[in-house]
Structure 1
Amino acid sequence: MSWKIILKSETVQYQLDDESYQTYPIQLVNEEFGSEPGGYKEPNDTVCVATYGADSEHGEFTWKVSARRSGFETYAVIEEVFETTTPNPSIDVEEPSFDIEDDDE
């Protein structure tokens, strides 16, 4: 069963100096699959780390998101969104929404 991380948000809102802005469309930049040891007597886990990016009038935003299909499970789950990068440390940005899509559906 094959799967991938998908983006559910086309853009995100962000705040800078008490003003609201919106990014340009978010796009997939990179996607890497790998495996990690599973639990006791279980097959290895399949792990995906995807990087998404969006430009804005203030610069580039990036988000890394990880997902995992554990051992004998037939489905994957989003683990976390991490390493959010903003063009300015004082920007407050909302997190995009991600989901899992099974290619077999």
Structure 2
Amino acid sequence: MEVKDPVFELLSSLEQIVLTRDSLKPAVQVSTPSLPEPQRLRELTGMQVDEFARVMGVSVSSVKSWEARRTRPSATAQKLMKLLHANPYLGRQLLD
């Protein structure tokens, strides 16, 4: 029996909701915009490094490492960043 990560499953479900909702909108762009860099996304959401780290569920040093391009976010973190990019206010909601 395969054991699945509940956080990954939750983020996958949320991603499907966001993508389904977005697919109902009229297509304006031909291609999907790429995920912004972590620092750009953090600035877009108006969060400090420590707040962004809390929302992402990682350490401040991990966020700094992503922003310096020394490491890449995990697949789960990338999915959460897609959700934050689709709804920049989600980060503030998760902090409350």
TM surpasses 0.5: no
Q: Shorter-chain TM-score category?
A: under 0.3
More strand by share: 1
Question: If each structure's helix is expressed as a fraction of its own residues, which one has the higher value?
Answer: 2
